[in-house]
Chains A and B, each alone.
Chain A
Amino acid sequence: MTSLVIAEHDNKTLKEATGKVVTAAAQVGTPVHVLVAGQGADAVAAAAAKLSGVEKVLLADDALYAKMVAETMETLILSLADKYDAILAPATTNGKNYMPRVAAKLDVPQISEIIAVESPDTFQRPIYAGNAIATVQAGSGKIVITVRTTTFKSAGDAGAAAIEKISAGADPGLSKFVSEELSKSERPELTSAKIIISGGRGMQSGENFHMLDKIADKLHAAVGASRAAVDAGFVPNDYQVGQTGKVVAPELYIAVGISGAIQHLAGMKDSKVIAAINKDEEAPIFQVADYGLVADLFKAIPEMDEELTKMGY
């Protein structure tokens, strides 16, 4: 069984998600090849070649793939599919965008957001916002998978795979990239941060999120938010942690003014340690928190800032 992993990157750096999918792929079938589709992505291919367990990196470098538009990715992946028994991508907004197109054309189901590989054809995946775990077995045909990267460890960096340049696929001419507005931040990304501090509706305004920024800067943490805070316009959509936002599993998750709706818990309950600050002692977040503090966040957060300073952060 040969596996193909589709790399996640921004043309400059390889995202950690890729290494995690390589780990999952190695449990499905070896050898593992990685496809880097991008523009000016030599450094990405070089980084992918260093991932432990990768036998070969395929680099398709073309303007068509600069933004991994789904329709062009579909054509490229399908042109390679014959040689592989399993095709895996991270369950990022990119992977979720192009992968089902590939599965449909191969006439196989996609197995979405797997959290464990039980055997090369049997996988666990969360359903109902993580309130149940389904164990599913693939039928005949190729196996097409997206991987929830929080549950897999990244492959090491002991590899030395060969990089093979491949030509671009045809342009289906269906869609084109126009523009993007990316949130700029010096802080780590939500999905790879070791510590996350998230705010909910209790934050009351976007201005008040700056209080969390100060704590985040001290702890080298990322700042997240509940859906309620995003819907209220306090922070942009890419802050959202939850069933339909980002799924995270940091070492420490600090929930501030977040009641803990099941849809939010679905996105963070695999965190190693959860701390919650909420003035409502009945808030459901306390049922999953390792450390709960019933307090007014507008007093507790400035106090935390001072205490951290005292502790030398």
Chain B
Amino acid sequence: MKVLVPVKRVIDYNVKVRVKADQSGVDLANVKMSMNPFDEISVEEAVRLKEKGKATEVIAVSIGPQQASETIRTALAMGADRGILVKCDADVEPLAVAKILKAICDAEKPTLVITGKQAIDDDSNQTGQMLASLLGWAQGTFAHKLELGDATAQIEREIDGGLQTVEVKLPAVMTVDLRLNEPRYASLPNIMKAKKKPIDEKSPTDYGVDIAPRLKVLKVSEPPKRQAGIKVKTVAELLDKLKNEAGVI
């Protein structure tokens, strides 16, 4: 079975985000970019399925600028077999991403698509669910544990009240949460090997998908700043302030 892993190139999660002065967006010039941390977990899960002999091929897909090929190389160095780069320089909304991924699924016929539950840039948390819906497939979102059978998979999910297990028919889409696994670091030999693995370059028009944005971003602004308050010296003073000054206990 094939596993498809969509990966997104995003601002590195340790970088302090700065809003542009003209409020047109956030400043991405000369900022470190990395693979979306949730997508690293999906690559890891897919590679583990291959190592267990359950998956035959792991395909990493990224939709973005030319530099997104570096994100695909990272996935290849972790153990994915080949890559598909759908090149576009503009921002692509989750719905258009899902449509491109659907077209790729129609062609590649994977049994499982594994992707991060959300990207840490736009925090949308939509793409996997939209893809499953467009394909008419089942989904297991916010995955904590995967048990793959022949025709079905059991997916344990992180939900508001605890954990929930669902059984989904295959093929299916799984979106991953933080604790599914701990992604590996690519070793130097594997990074070298990854350079020889193939990456197909495509464009959204190859898949007949219109990527024009459907939402208009009017502005991007700084959130209201919270001021640091005071330091107290003792527990008794803290409780006194909470009770008599703030009135919250």
A positions within 8 Å CB-CB of B:
10, 67, 69-71, 74, 92-94, 96-105, 107-113, 122, 126-139, 141, 172-183, 191, 195, 219, 227, 230-231, 236-238, 243-244, 246, 251-252, 262-263, 269, 272-275, 277, 281, 286-295, 300, 303-304, 307-308, 311, 313
Contacts and interface: CB of A to CB of B under 8 A. Distances in A.
A104 B98 contact: yes
A111 to B, nearest CB: 7
B52 interface: no
A117 B133 CA distance: 27
Nearest to A96: B125
B126 A127 contact: no
B177 A244 contact: yes
B215 A138 contact: yes
In the complex, which of the residues B124, B160, B239 has the most CB atoms of chain A within 10 Å of its own CB atom? B160
A137 B216 contact: yes
B164 A272 contact: no
B161 A182 contact: yes
Given A134-B217, A244-B118, A300 B235 contact: yes
Nearest to A284: B228
Given A103-B95, A139-B215, A175-B166, A129 B161 contact: no
B126 A110 contact: yes
B231 A100 contact: no
A130 B235 contact: no
Interface string B10-46: 0101001101000000100000000000000000000
Contact of B248 (A135, A243, A252): A252
B183 to A, nearest CB: 13
For the residues of A in contact with B, the DSSP-based class is mixed
A176 B166 contact: yes
Contacts of A292: 228-232
A141 B215 CA distance: 11
Given A129-B123, A237-B144, A308-B239, A67 B164 contact: yes
Contacts of B172: 174-175
B51 interface: no
Interface stretch (B69-77, B82-90, B104-112, B135-143): B135-143
Contacts of A237: 144, 158, 162-163, 177, 179
A289 to B, nearest CB: 6
A128 B120 contact: yes
B125 A128 contact: no
B114 interface: no
Interface of B: 11, 13, 16-17, 19, 26, 93-95, 98, 117-118, 120-127, 129-134, 136-142, 144, 154, 157-169, 172, 177-179, 214-223, 226, 228-236, 238-239, 241-243, 246, 248-249
18 contacts: A100-B127, A101-B133, A110-B94, A110-B95, A113-B123, A132-B19, A134-B219, A135-B219, A136-B215, A137-B218, A177-B165, A180-B159, A180-B165, A236-B163, A237-B179, A252-B246, A275-B242, A304-B238
From A105, A287, A291, residue with most partner B Cβ within 10 Å: A291
B21 to A, nearest CB: 13
Contacts of A133: 220-223
Given A70-B129, A134-B220, A237-B158, A104 B228 contact: no
A96 B157 CA distance: 13
A291 B230 contact: yes
Contacts of A96: 125, 129, 141-142
A181 B248 CA distance: 33
B31 to A, nearest CB: 11
Contacts of B231: 281, 286, 291-294
A97 B133 CA distance: 11
Nearest to B158: A237
Given A100-B94, A131-B17, A126 B238 contact: no
